[in-house]
Amino acid sequence: MAQISIAGDDLVVEIEGWEKLWSLKSRLVIPLVNVRGATVDPGIAAEPKGLRAPGTSLPGVITAGTFHQEGERVFWNIRDGARAVVIELADERYARLVVEVADPAATVALIEREIKR
């Protein structure tokens, strides 16, 4: 699971627990000016992930790390697709982040409020 917060002008994604190991990341910091939006997307867990490089993929268990799909780099960190949030980015290493959070609706509201500021 991930904790998402705002620190100044940055979106901060903190990966928790053992998922740091599986995703090979513990923290991502993205300038808010590069965040295009966020949505709750519980169905995304069933979609193709692309080519894993590097990361972990155990279908039905965990998807974590960097995946390449249709020419884009996507960061995944989910176990429970019902709590998935997709964060769209511009001018960043990743085209989007797909992360599991405790409260998807509140997380999307936080991100949307901050990028409109």
Sequence-ordered alpha helix ranges (H) in the chain = 19-23, 104-116
Mean pLDDT for all residues in the chain: 92
Total domains, the chain: 1
pLDDT per residue as tens digits for the range 54-100: 888 878 788 999 999 889 999 999 999 899 999 999 999 999 999 99
- Host domain of residue 101: 2-116
pTM of the model: 0.92
pLDDT of residue 68: 94
pLDDT at 55: 83
